[in-house]
Amino acid sequence: MNRRLGWLFALAVILPSALLAALAVRAIRREEAFIEKQLAAGLDAEVLQLAASVGEELRRVEEALAGSAPQSGAGGFAAWRKDTPLVGVPFLLTASYDLAWPRPGQGAAEREFLRRHGEFLAGRQQSTVYTNIALAFRDQILPSVGAETEPPAAAAPASAVEAEETRAAALEPEADEQAKAGAREGKSAEKAAKAEAAQQAVSAFESDREVRRKAYAQAESKGQPPAPRNVSPSAVQAEEGEATGPPPSVFVSEQLHFREMAAGRQSGLIPRLLEEGIWLLFWKRLPDGRIVGCQLDAGELRARLLGLLPPAATPVRILTLLDERGQPLFAPVEDPPRDYRRPFVAREVSELLPRWEAAAYLTDPAMVASRARLASLILWTLVGLLTVSIAGGGALVLRSLAAEVRLARQKTSFVANVSHELKTPLTSIRMYAEMLQEGRQRDPKRRRQYLGTIVEESRRLTRLVNRVLDFARLDQGRQSYAFGPLDPEALCRGVLENERPRLEQEGFAVSFEARGRRPPAGGEVRGDPEALAQVLLNLLSNAEKYSGGRREIAVELAREAGKNRIRVLDRGRGIPPGAVRHLFKEFYRADDSLTNPVQGSGLGLAIARRIVRDHGGELEYLPRAGGGSIFQVELP
């Protein structure tokens, strides 16, 4: 039975607790990564927003310059520079792409301009054009992710220039709407399809690591390796599982002549990434075929981009733009200065500003760890509490279950015992009564003996039934006592003198001893004499039943200050140590097998203790030196 309860405990309590704890440990381990991911996702959205707004700003810059550029050529340059702060050094190309303005010897700024861009504008040198890799390899990416390929008309190899157009369409927030509107006008359904394909390619590239890997491999094989970036974002790196060095750029580059870049277009911006930094060139085709343009004023451009930054520093993050050298456009004063090449998340800004990054940093880099620690502390505490309460509750349930089982077992053996006890006297009563009824025994002495046995056995029956009834009454709290002044010595003597003849007849040596001063008349104890006599009777009857060979019973009364102690001593078998704590429980018998020669109900001591306690006293068992038991009643 206990084994079964053990298994039950393991299954219902230990196993679920262990599972719970294992789950919690797993969750805790992932906590830091999870918090970092959440933060990274939030900051990435901000960074993306910033990068998009830089792209839009560059388009606005281009529009503004196109709108203000002089139609007349070099004649309007002075006014253009004056009215449009974005204009740095203007230039003019003839229709056959010869540099007509500025001329050497005009001024320091012009000389510098010619040194930087002269060869390129005059068509004698190529310059680098950057393209989003997802757009450059759109036609390879789309089939690999199962997207529909474009209609044949649009499926021409994506050149850098065409890619730039579709990029502008795709990355514009309302690209779809615009494209649809265009289609409705019947102008370019083809353009709409291209924009959609571009968008699909970009998102496939963003979301699928395998697509990214393939695209980079293709770029490599085509001799267009992406340049490494200026920064190593820590959150992105963790996700990609790359341990060393900055991740590759999303832009692939291509060398083109100015003529090729301008082919088929009316205006544009061209980034010139030179050793000393980036210069943006604006150009616009005039109606007569000449080209006007300018090198943008770097300070003014930076100022306009700086104006795009949302509040740069919050308690959580610092958001900023990094230029081509990895220097922040804006940096809050910090001590020690932070390493801006290691942002938390970052994105490249635009094809037109290669190597520029929109980057976010954690204001407090230890935040993720400390948040994770706090979260795991809370989780551990909860798990601890839960486990303790599950285990504690389970143990309590099992304990009461075990107690119930024990009680049920004792009640069963109680019924068996009581039936047995009822049957024995009933059998002898019936036997003697039948013998008398049939009148077979004529000897009057024998007949009196039979009658005596019948009376004695009936008494025994009555005692047994009374005991069961007493117990029921006590158990239900229906017992009522007749309290009154009482002399313990008289009580002991009375009970003992009643029992003495019978005990002595059975060979017991019975003694009584009272110590201490006798109380003044009126008594010092208040109690119900009948109930207390019942207690003594039960103890005497146990001493008699469990005495075995050494038949000595002693009753001692000790009077002390405020206390009366009555002891019933025998020289019987005593109580085994393990049984002592159950001794006073109802139905408990140290040996409750049916083969036990001593009959009993397991109620005598339970009843006795209940009565003593109802008197404010205590009934205890003490082992007796030299063998035997001491049952001690203490009355206040």
Q: Which residue is nearest to ligand ADP (CB)?
A: 600
Alpha carbon distance 554, 551 (integer Å):
10
C-beta of 253 vs 629, nearer to ligand ADP: 629
Q: Which is nearer to ligand ADP, 141 or 543 (CB)?
A: 543
Q: Among 215, 252, 605, 633, which residue interacts with ligand ADP (rule: CB under 6 A)?
A: 605
The verdict on 410 binding ligand ADP (CB under 6 A) reads no
Binding segment for ligand ADP among 148-156, 329-337, 448-456, 604-612 (CB under 6 A)?
604-612
Among positions 136, 583, 611, 633, the unique one binding ligand ADP when judged by CB under 6 A: 583
**Taking contact as CB under 6 A, which single stretch among the options 14-22, 51-59, 74-82, 597-605 is the one that binds ligand ADP?**
597-605
Using the contact rule CB under 6 A, the part of the chain among 322-330, 387-395, 484-492, 573-581 near ligand ADP is 573-581
x/- contact string, 534-553, with ligand ADP (CB under 6 A)?
Answer: --------xx--x-------
Of 77 and 588, nearer to ligand ADP (C-beta) is 588
Minimum separation from the CB atom of position 608 to ligand ADP (A) = 8
Give the one residue of 320, 413, 601, 632 binding ligand ADP; rule: CB under 6 A: 601
User: To which H or E segment does residue 294 belong?
Assistant: strand 291-296
Whole-number Å distance between alpha carbons of 335 and 329? 18
Question: Cβ closer to ligand ADP: 40 or 555?
Answer: 555
Interface segment toward ligand ADP; rule CB under 6 A; list 104-112, 303-311, 487-495, 589-597 = 589-597
Nearest CA among 349, 297, 291 for reference residue 320: 349
Residue from 600, 612, 615, 633 in contact with ligand ADP (CB under 6 A) = 600
Query: Cβ contacts of residue 383 below 8 Å, gap of 6+?
Result: 20, 21, 24
From edge to edge, which strands make up the β-sheet containing 345-350? 317-322, 353-362, 345-350
User: CA-to-CA distance for 505 and 352, rounded, in angstroms?
Assistant: 124
Q: Which stretch binds ligand ADP (CB under 6 A): 171-179, 341-349, 491-499, 571-579?
A: 571-579
Q: 33-37: list long-range contacts, CB under 8 Å, 24+ apart.
A: 33/238, 35/368, 35/371, 35/372, 35/375, 36/235, 36/238, 36/368, 37/235, 37/239
Binder of ligand ADP out of 553, 575, 612, 633 (CB under 6 A): 575
Of 567 and 589, the one with the shorter C-beta distance to ligand ADP is 589
Stretch that binds ligand ADP, among 25-33, 205-213, 249-257, 588-596 (CB under 6 A): 588-596
Helix (H) or strand (E) holding 470: helix 444-475
Quick one: 491 or 583, whose CB is closer to ligand ADP?
Answer: 583
Distance CA 594, CA 417 (A): 7
- Between 134 and 606, CB nearer to ligand ADP: 606
Identify the CA nearest to 584 among candidates 556, 606, 607: 606
Binding ligand ADP (rule: CB under 6 A), the pick from 53, 573, 614, 624 is 573
589 binds ligand ADP (CB under 6 A): yes
C-alpha 505 chain-centroid distance: 77
Distances (CA, A) of 628 to 453, 574, 631: 31, 5, 10
Q: Is 499 in the site for ligand ADP (CB under 6 A)?
A: no
Q: Are 461 and 454 in contact (CB under 8 A)?
A: no
Closest approach, Cβ 408 to ligand ADP, in A, equals: 18
Task: Tell me the C-alpha distance between 458 and 319, whole Å.
Answer: 102
Total residues belonging to the chain: 636
Q: Establish if 167 lies at the interface with ligand ADP (CB under 6 A).
A: no
70 binds ligand ADP (CB under 6 A): no
Stretch that binds ligand ADP, among 16-24, 38-46, 484-492, 587-595 (CB under 6 A): 587-595
Helix (H) or strand (E) holding 85: none
Query: Can you tell me the distance from the alpha carbon of 227 to that of 551, in angstroms, rounded to the nearest whole number?
Result: 109
Residue 341 or 573 having the CB closest to ligand ADP: 573
Q: Pick from 200, 253, 534, 629: which binds ligand ADP (CB under 6 A)? A: 629
Contacts of 516 (CB under 8 A, 6+ apart): 557, 558, 559, 560
Residues 301, 602, 611, 635: which binds ligand ADP (CB under 6 A)? 602
Q: Which residue, 158 or 603, is less far from ligand ADP as judged by CB?
A: 603
Query: What is d(CA 558, CA 514) in angstroms, rounded to the nearest whole number?
Result: 6
d(CA 218, CA 320): 32
**Site residues (CB under 6 A) for ligand ADP?**
542-543, 546, 570, 572-575, 583, 588-591, 600-606, 629
